[in-house]
Structure 1
Amino acid sequence: MKKKLYLASPYGFSKQTKKLLYEFINIFIDLNIEVYEPFERTKHIIQKEGKWAYELARSNFQDLKKCDCIFAIVNGTPPDEGVMIELGIAIALKKEIFLFRDDFRNCSDSNQYPLNLMLFLGLPKDNWKKYYFESLQDIKSNKKGFVKWAKE
């Protein structure tokens, strides 16, 4: 059965960064993963008049529950708050967590982790670096945990 991935990112908010999403999506598709990309999946909701915000949030929550993992792009200082909330939900749901950050700025309150320490509750204590990516090549690397997870 095809694994399902929820792609949490702030990249869908602008035309320029939205193009970057396809680089990630193509990697996942090449690994036979079904990608739930919230901006694409909810574009019909955003076009509605009136009270669309709750419906959109509910749709994203339902998609996150259906997925086997969350792959979160956590660039920014701090990272996008919507992505961080989605990560918190995924951690509570005990989903597999993968983090991508190619932003070189420091965004941490500890020397041990590159991001807020609470995120690392969702990763293995000793092998968290296998679930943390700093380039697109990292995602495809057999030394990291994503390819192994995708093929299990």
Structure 2
Amino acid sequence: MKKRVYIAGPLFSQAELDFNENVEKSLNDLGYETFLPQRDGHTLSDLISRGEPEDDAIKKIFELDVREIQKSDILLLILDGRVPDEGACVELGIAYANKKECIGLKTDSRCLMENLDNPLILGALDGKIARSIDDLRNFL
């Protein structure tokens, strides 16, 4: 049975979306099944534009993502950026609380503190932070 990876990361620029798709393709090439929120989930703007009330749209996104994290074996947190994406950090917390394997991917040298990311994020990842997609293959 294929292991399932939930890809948690920022979804707000074309560069972020393209990077996420590249990571997802690499995981598929390695034989993993994936959940990529930008492709497989909902966006707030799409739901609202289709007439969904804002509160219902938020609940729908949250509940789907929680279910998909629970169905996954691994959560991959994309850490690139000055700070990790807030939503992705919540997804990490949900995965950690559900005893899922959590792995980080950080190709960006920026950090919030001197050469360190947030200790709660680092603790949830337990030192498993790949520095490239090739390095990620070694973790998996």
Partners of 1:72 and 1:78 in 2: how far apart? 12
% identical equivalent positions: 27
CA distance 1:55–1:77, change in 2 (3 Å) = same
Q: Does 1:132 align with 2:129?
A: yes
The structural deviation recorded for 1:43 is 3.5
When the two chains are superposed, the root-mean-square deviation of aligned CA atoms in Å is 2.0
TM-score (norm 1): 0.78
Residues 17, 38 of structure 2: 8 Å contact kept: no
Deviation, structure 1 residue 44: 7.4
Matched residue of 2:109: which SS? coil
Deviation at 1:105, TM superposition (A): 1.5
In structure 2, the CA distance between the partners of 1:106 and 1:42, relative to structure 1 (3 Å rule), is closer
- Distance in 1 (alpha carbons) for counterparts of 2:83 and 2:137: 26
Structure 1 gap ranges (5+): 147-152
Which residue number corresponds to residue 12 of structure 2? 13
- TM-score under structure 2 normalisation? 0.84
Contact kept, 8 Å, 1:72 with 1:100, in 2: the verdict is: yes
* Structure-2 residue corresponding to 1:115: 117
Shift of 1:16: 3.2
Higher relative contact order (Cα pairs below 8 Å, separated by 6+ residues): 2
2:66 is matched with which residue? Answer: 61
Letter in 1 for 2:98: L
Instruction: Count residues with an aligned counterpart.
Output: 134
